Structure 1
Amino acid sequence: MDVPSDPSRTKGRFRPTPQLPRSLVNLWPPMILGTVLWFLAFAVLLITGVRGVWLWTTLAGGGLGIVGMGIMLWQRAAARRGSRPTPHGL
């Protein structure tokens, strides 16, 4: 069994869960990369003259990426105001 290193901060037999590394908590880089890739795919399909469902799928993917970024900004602003609970460390 694991023995806690600092028993004064531990409740029960288990240690508290450690904080996630900042690189795993920061969602902006993959969000921006994914949105840019969707718009890049849209531009490639538009230039090559492809019409149909794939053209509109790539446009929708880029648009949803922008909507997702807006939602992330909205949630962070609400967390800073303290108007709604958010997971610890985000």
Structure 2
Amino acid sequence: MRLWLNDSERRPDPAPARADARKAVLAGTVSWLVALVVTLVFRAQLEAADLGWLVWACVTGVVLGLVGLVVVQVIRRRIARQETGSAS
């Protein structure tokens, strides 16, 4: 087994896989939302155990997830615009 190949011996890099980042970001956001509901249900017990900050951690996760969804959508639109611009 060789650890190094010359450029002439290398095969070309494969094309990058196309993935839908919206599904991953949405799954994470929904997970944070479920965690937020659970922490709100058990808020009194969490406060008693000095873990009230978990509610705010979940709120932060949901907000960042929503920001992530917006960013992913903007990127998708920009890529679609570039593809249609180069096709015509």
After superposition, residues 1-90 of structure 1 pair within 5 angstroms as: 12-22=8-18, 25-49=19-43, 50-51=46-47, 52-82=52-82
Relative to the length of structure 2, the TM-score reads 0.66
TM-score, normalised to structure 1, is 0.65
Q: Which runs of 5+ in 1 are unaligned?
A: 2-10, 83-90
Flag structure 2 segments of 5+ consecutive residues without an equivalent: 83-88
Which structure carries more helix by proportion? 2
SS at match of 1:63: helix
Amino acid aligned to 1:47: V
Give the whole-Å Cα distance in 1 for the aligned partners of 2:20 and 2:78: 17
Q: Distance in 1 between matches of 2:66 and 2:37?
A: 16
1:63 and 1:48, CA in 2 relative to 1: closer, same or farther beyond 3 A?
Answer: same
Kindly tell me the number of residue pairs found equivalent between the two proteins.
71
Q: Which of structure 1's runs of 4+ aligned residues deviate more than 4 A?
A: none
Task: With a CA cutoff of 8 Å and minimum separation of 6, indicate the structure with the bigger relative contact order.
Answer: 2
Shift of residue 79, structure 1, vs aligned partner: 1.5
